[in-house]
Amino acid sequence: MSHSVLISHSVLVLSLDSLIAAAALSAAVRPRHYAPLALLFGTCDLVASSVAPMLHAALAASSLAPVLDARLLALGFLVPWLLLSGMLVLSGSASRARSQNLGAVAYLLAPLFALDNLISPATSPVPAGLLSCAMAAAGFVLGAAVLHRLAPPALRPLWAASLTVVAITLQLAW
């Protein structure tokens, strides 16, 4: 019983980044992108959790293993959050034409947010992918409902960028 709870907990923790990133992205991308992006978040987490055991075995057998310690890998988790924050700030100050190009950049974020599943894989890749997809979908709905109702349009990207700062802090604390 406790083993299944532990698996559920690790899968839940690994999918929280999808929830927070999607909520923040809802301020920068058009609603037509919500479903494809949610599917992409889930697919990337599923693939990363599936490939990770083979990657870990190959890395353990290589000469790079002593160089790549946990602290160095933890810094890699910051990359997608920093890119998302920059994208949100730019979307708030961008013209309409440039803002549409930033929507395309959002599709590059899902593979970057799968890095945590690649480094600390879920024990069950399929539930991890499904939960990540569901969390991203919930994040888009939550972000659209909250950010679009509470924040004026000019301030939405700033609010979303501050959400990413909270996420960075949580990721570092974890």
pLDDT per residue as tens, the chain (174 positions)? 444 444 466 777 778 888 888 988 887 788 999 999 999 999 999 998 898 888 766 665 565 555 555 555 556 666 666 666 666 666 555 444 445 556 677 888 888 888 778 777 778 889 889 999 999 999 999 988 887 777 777 777 777 777 777 766 666 555
| pLDDT for position 17 | 83
At 44, list the tokens: 């990337």
DSSP string, 110-133: HHHHTHHHHHS--SSHHHHHHHHH
Which stretches of 26-61 are DSSP H helices? 34-61
Please check whether residue 132 is in contact with residue 42, taking contact to mean a CB–CB distance below 8 angstroms. yes
pTM, 2 dp: 0.76
Q: What pLDDT score does 58 carry?
A: 65
CA distance to 27, 72, 79, 145, 172, per residue, from 128 (Å)? 25, 24, 21, 25, 21
Which residues are CB-contacts of 133 (< 8 A; sequence separation ≥ 6)?
Answer: 18, 38, 39, 41, 42, 43, 45
Note the pLDDT of residue 89. 61
CA 17 to CA 157: how far, in whole Å? 18
